[in-house]
Amino acid sequence: MNLADVFTVVLSVAGVLTVFVGWWLAIMGLFPRLVERCADRLGTAPLKCFLAGLAGAVPLILGVVVLGKISTNPAAKLLSVALVIVLLLLALAGTAGLALRIGRGLPAASDSGEAWRCVQRGGIVLAISYGTIVLLPLTLLAGLGALVLAGLGRGEKAPVTTP
């Protein structure tokens, strides 16, 4: 492996993690109440969120893999890949609550009602922690479960900290 290969891998990983932080900020900007509810769910019952995400993701992924393997139609194979991407994006949307939760634990004087700064700070910390690889699937499953549980509890109004 030469230096160009090393740079390719390192910069690709850094680019993906930067996209994660950008996705978390976009979700916070578009759906602040949902992210607040996900953060509350992950703060009060992280194991319940993880189990809900596991219960939802495993059958869906197995079904998509089976669909992709047994189908001879290219459109069905493309659909299976699209479903995996949508599932990943939904899991990342729920993980925005975890980024918010981490960011709240690292307060700064410049926050003053700007929750996106908490998401940015927490997202950077979370992205750096993904270097262990073990945390990535665990937090994605917990984020998916938090998103599902927060979507089920829509009647509860969470306070929005943005002006």
The structure's pTM equals 0.84
Whether 158 and 138 have beta carbons less than 8 Å apart is answered as no
- The CA-atom distances, in angstroms, between 131 and each of 23, 95, 99, 120, 126 are 18, 16, 16, 18, 9
Give the start-to-end residue ranges of the domains of the chain. 3-152
Q: Whose CA is closest to 49, among 97, 105, 110, 1?
A: 97
Q: Which two tokens stand for residue 44?
A: 């009060």
Q: Whose CA is closest to 23, among 72, 75, 92?
A: 92
Tens digits of per-residue pLDDT, 32-86?
Answer: 999 999 999 999 999 999 999 999 999 988 888 888 888 888 888 888 889 889 9
